[in-house]
Structure 1
Amino acid sequence: MSETQQGGVTLTTPHGNLADIEHLSVSFMTDAGSIKAIDDISFTIPRRTVVGVVGESGSGKSVTARSIIKLLPETATTSGAVYLSVRNDEHRLDMLSLSGEQLRQARGSEAAMVFQEPNAVLNPVYTIGWQIEEGLRAHGMHDKRQLRAKAIDILEKVGIPEARTRVDYYPHQFSGGQKQRIVIAMALVLNPGLILADEPTTALDVTVQAEILDLLRLARDEFGASVLIITHNMGVIADIADQVVVMYRGHVVEQGDVDQIFYRPQHPYTKSLLAAVPRIGQRLVVHDASGAVVERKDDWHTQPVVVEAKGLSITYPGRLMQPDFMAVDGVDFTIRRSEVLGLVGESGSGKSTTGRAIAGLQKVSSGSLSVLGVEMNGVRERVFAPKRADIGFVFQDPGSSFNPLMTIAQNVAEPLIVHHAYSSVADAADYVGDLLEMVQLPRAYMNRFPHELSGGQRQRASLARALALKPSLLIADEPTSALDVSVQAKVLELFKTLQAEIGFACLFITHDLAVVDMLADRIMVMHQGRIVEHGDADDIMQHPGDTYTKRLLASLPVPDPREQREHRARLLALS
């Protein structure tokens, strides 16, 4: 491999790959000393190929992607090499040796990044057209007509409807999936050879996720780019990746083509990662310390009704001359004691609104909703207040639901003190310690603050707080959506164990059909505020009757490349 100098940039004659990562290590300097994020990793990114990088939070996936375009903080120290081929040249760049100006020229034109959260990338005070044009201006294009034409063209290619009009819209006027499409458009507009996609589908509904993955395929097949996609979702990897790199604690533990990783995994970590993935038709079976299967003491079919809705409707009043919005439109359902009712649907379907109404956090507009014997339509707070101690709520993001200035003990003890079960945190300390141990957290964590716990640990603490008053009813709103698959598996096992022991009724809200299939006795499918399908969990999953349910199931990627190809064909047939 020969080296030359051109304009101060180190160039090397290329191999057949678009990028080569060789013995890369990255360390970060902290107050506690140097922390090594990735340690001597090597892998290649071939041309016109999708390479999936998988692993749990903290494995070094995102640091690896950012290192390729040297998008690291000043506290980072790197060693090794990252070689990136220039798309329209016979040479390649040594990315770690580039100066600031050289990096600015390479970013966008040679490699571009798609971040996990589009709201953190899009500027709310500029139109999306202006933001797409910004990248073109930075690389020398200044003709206004040409800039606008390019912005409209790329928006049409990524599937934004009415692109000629909506190019002048602001980010808040788009849905989450559309915003992710816009971020991908910003990455594609300069036609780079490499797209770095960091968890681009994590917070999206399964149908929107399928559309975004199709868009990344478009980048490979029509734009001729290579894609490095970072994810902890093995179904996504099975759906889109040609090759897979498995990372664990800063090391590459296994790499190979997608069939090899899924059907012939070698490393124990890869095997455990695949085993933790929830699958349709796979009921969750939990064993106690003695090996016996954990089962509920009572048959939920014979238990009393805890929640009953008849013609339940919830309307949000319109603002600034906008019409009212009906979030929940005349739904009927019941939840019995000891039962887990799964509520599935996409964002905006009315799932969380229904859960909040049951918890007394959202007013009922019309119809009837009986919760623990109290009619919620027109209920006064002084009537419902005594029932709040019987309702637990597990929020989607425990980080935002915990007070960051309070310790875990103070956060978990809060409902106990509010409802006068204990007079102070000190009085409740023993019981709080028992609660933490019940959710498999050490008592030593009581004095830690929320930011000192991992995502999975915070979710367990959130579950401990929700169960502190031994509620008759638990509402779990997307409690596992942001968790790694192995952490998710542990939280679900814990949830099932506690539900069997305590016997609470549960509304489990999620957009992940595989997760709800593992836990739920019955499933309701919600679409645009209405229940489109409702019945036994096995019947809904195996024999869906409604077209929307079929599309949801077909959109859910399965962690099996061969099966996923058939799955995708069914989704195309339903489109």
Structure 2
Amino acid sequence: MNQNTDDSRTSISNHTSNNLAQIKNLSVSFMTDAGSIRAIDNISFTIPKKTVVGVVGESGSGKSVTARSIIKLLPETATTAGAIYLTSRDGSQELEVLSLKLEDLQHMRGQEAAMVFQEPNAVLNPVYTIGWQIEEGLRAHGMSDKHELRAKTIDILEKVGIPDAKTRVDYYPHQFSGGQKQRIVIAMALVLNPGLILADEPTTALDVTVQAEILDLLRLARDEFDASVLIITHNMGVIADITDQVVVMYRGHVVEQGDVEQIFYHPQEEYTKRLLAAVPRIGQKLVVRNDSGVAIERKADWRTQPIAVEAKGLTVTYPGHLLQPDFVAVKNVDFEIHQSEVLGLVGESGSGKSTTGRAIAGLQRISDGSLKVLGSEMNGFKEREFKPKRADIGFVFQDPGSSFNPLMTIAENVAEPLLVHKKYSSVADASDYVGDLLEMVQLPRTYMNRFPHELSGGQRQRASLARALALKPSLIIADEPTSALDVSVQAKVLQLFKRLQVEIGFACLFITHDLAVVDMLADRIMVMHKGSIVEHGEAGQIMQNPQNPYTRKLLASLPVPDPREQRKHREQLHELLKQE
């Protein structure tokens, strides 16, 4: 429902001649059972032609609703007010998007503006080839010649960097990696050559190397396709890397906007300053302080502590199915973790990081070599004998939303390991202790009776940490625990994690693909690539003086939250890629 009644098509007016799109006094409300909720409140900003504009802010600030409003992709429960003006690709007319009729709206989507969604698996249909799915957009806009459709599809796949496009045009989505699927979704957006690309968190779940490739592709949309790009992200490194202008949003309002250097070097608003201060940076060690402001340090040097985990020649193989060969996920790996030490494990998806963590937790059988966990040999272990040891191992999962039972309250989820290991007889019996655990991770006791969906992402991750610590384990496996969190929420979770690690002294394997995060927390860092450890050493040495070319590539791929520094960083990455 739109409260704007202006004519939806007008000639180009002077005030928008240099702008591709203009958002004027836009408000969006959603009707819920609890009444009307305003997601966006009277925001205004412009998207100039051939420009990358970044929209940044915490979850719930209204970023995605803003982007969806630009192509009127909102649910029926939404009520809009204000206006969105979009100049057509040929520059002949100006469209008032919120007033467009359905037929004009369908023409506008894809032809004038197209969306790149955060999760390609939610966009790509698994039962159709990717070629058919790209052609579908062309067919919807009047192209019917089969040879022309195929030629145009292959051409756009080649432009977005899909290798052997002539063959792979007939592949299905599951036959591509995550980064390649994101490229295909970008190809779907670019195929009709729209003037505006809306990219909603296009790099959130991607490795830093793949993320750099996707950002280069969006830069290509501006530089070679002459399109404007509106990119939504919570990653300030991405903002520094690709954007020309920045819009900062908070709770449905635009709190600040300006060119990228002004936002990073001369922010005016306190919220922008806090957002930038929360960004993890290479070389910035995390220091936690008590209520008096004194830094909290470990009582003993981790190097002098007993060894909690020791791997020698660790190998994990997944058996092949349907005549496929076996896949060796972890190859002949040696490492150790001392009590009270944080060992960071970094690498791209598929490098064997999570498999290593699962093997340590006894969730994945090892194929060869030796793996001693808290004194128990994991090669050929018997579950009955190992079960008592599980109480000493905590696991923090990447996505607490999927690791929590949605039908159980937070109290029931956190108390579950206590009941399994017979520390308490019921949730009611454990309620006082569960309340203490929640307060330890800075969640109020009142959250005990809430369900997982009633908590934010950061709150769920804190509850997940409370559950992992419930049995007072001496070893924690943390698998990408902050990858999907906003920078401000991530900073709070990392502070909490560091404080608890210092106070409790548990050994920790911290798995991540974010090198800045691991540099803040880890004492030592292991770099994995294709199942092998390619570099291993003190955190400072790995970060400041990497020896392996793969480690150097990983570090160069990590976007730095500083526009001037990031330009040098990107040039360094391109030089490294030329040497491969």
Of 485, 491, 495, which residue of structure 1 is paired with 2:497?
A: 495
Structure-1 residue corresponding to 2:162? 160
CA-CA distance at 1:90 after TM superposition: 2.0
Do the aligned partners of 1:193 and 1:224 also contact (CA within 8 Å) in 2? yes
Of 78, 85, 88, which residue of structure 1 is paired with 2:87?
A: 85
Q: Is 1:299 aligned with 2:301?
A: yes
CA-CA distance at 1:288 after TM superposition: 1.1
- In 1: Cα distance, 2:75 partner to 2:335 partner: 52
Kindly report which structure 2 residues correspond to 1:220-299, keeping only aligned pairs within 5 A, or say none: 220-299=222-301
- In 1: Cα distance, 2:207 partner to 2:57 partner: 21
Q: Secondary structure at the match of 2:488?
A: helix
CA-CA distance at 1:295 after TM superposition: 1.1
- In 2: Cα distance, 1:516 partner to 1:104 partner: 45
AA in 2 matched with 1:238: A
Do the aligned partners of 1:129 and 1:167 also contact (CA within 8 Å) in 2? yes
Of 209, 218, 221, which residue of structure 2 is paired with 1:219?
A: 221
- In 2: Cα distance, 1:520 partner to 1:47 partner: 44
Structure-2 residue corresponding to 1:423? 425
CA-CA distance at 1:352 after TM superposition: 0.1
Do the aligned partners of 1:129 and 1:148 also contact (CA within 8 Å) in 2? yes
Do the aligned partners of 2:316 and 2:330 also contact (CA within 8 Å) in 1? yes
CA-CA distance at 1:298 after TM superposition: 1.6
Q: How many aligned positions are there?
A: 570
Q: Is 1:533 aligned with 2:532?
A: no
Q: Secondary structure at the match of 1:524?
A: strand
Do the aligned partners of 2:22 and 2:85 also contact (CA within 8 Å) in 1? yes
- In 1: Cα distance, 2:221 partner to 2:364 partner: 43
- In 2: Cα distance, 1:388 partner to 1:101 partner: 60
Do the aligned partners of 1:318 and 1:324 also contact (CA within 8 Å) in 2? yes
- In 2: Cα distance, 1:290 partner to 1:449 partner: 35
CA-CA distance at 1:299 after TM superposition: 1.1
Structure-2 residue corresponding to 1:564? 566
**How large is the Cα RMSD of the aligned pairs?**
1.0
Q: Is 1:332 aligned with 2:331?
A: no
Do the aligned partners of 1:12 and 1:94 also contact (CA within 8 Å) in 2? no
- In 1: Cα distance, 2:294 partner to 2:501 partner: 16
CA-CA distance at 1:11 after TM superposition: 2.1
CA-CA distance at 1:9 after TM superposition: 4.7
* Runs of at least 5 residues in structure 2 that lack an aligned partner in the other structure: none
Kindly report which structure 2 residues correspond to 1:125-524, keeping only aligned pairs within 5 A, or say none: 125-524=127-526
AA in 1 matched with 2:12: T
- In 1: Cα distance, 2:24 partner to 2:149 partner: 38
- In 2: Cα distance, 1:412 partner to 1:256 partner: 44
Structure-2 residue corresponding to 1:118? 120
- In 1: Cα distance, 2:403 partner to 2:61 partner: 26
- In 2: Cα distance, 1:252 partner to 1:90 partner: 30
Q: Secondary structure at the match of 1:423?
A: coil
- In 2: Cα distance, 1:157 partner to 1:259 partner: 30
Q: Secondary structure at the match of 1:161?
A: coil
AA in 2 matched with 1:13: I
AA in 1 matched with 2:19: N
Structure-1 residue corresponding to 2:9? 10
Structure-2 residue corresponding to 1:99? 101
AA in 1 matched with 2:61: S
Do the aligned partners of 2:234 and 2:486 also contact (CA within 8 Å) in 1? yes
Do the aligned partners of 1:9 and 1:102 also contact (CA within 8 Å) in 2? no
AA in 2 matched with 1:512: D
- In 2: Cα distance, 1:331 partner to 1:50 partner: 43
CA-CA distance at 1:291 after TM superposition: 1.1
Do the aligned partners of 1:411 and 1:465 also contact (CA within 8 Å) in 2? yes
How far does the alpha carbon of each residue in 1:373-426 deviate from its partner, in whole angstroms, 9 at most, with x for none?
111011110111110000000000000000000000000000001001111001
How far does the alpha carbon of each residue in 1:223-257 deviate from its partner, in whole angstroms, 9 at most, with x for none?
00000000000000000000000000000000000
Moved over 3 A (4+): none
* Runs of at least 5 residues in structure 1 that lack an aligned partner in the other structure: none
CA-CA distance at 1:114 after TM superposition: 0.1
AA in 2 matched with 1:401: S
**Which region of structure 1 is more displaced relative to structure 2, 345-354 or 92-101?**
92-101
Kindly report which structure 2 residues correspond to 1:532-551, keeping only aligned pairs within 5 A, or say none: 532-551=534-553
CA-CA distance at 1:10 after TM superposition: 2.2
CA-CA distance at 1:290 after TM superposition: 1.5
**TM-score if structure 2 supplies the norm length?**
0.98
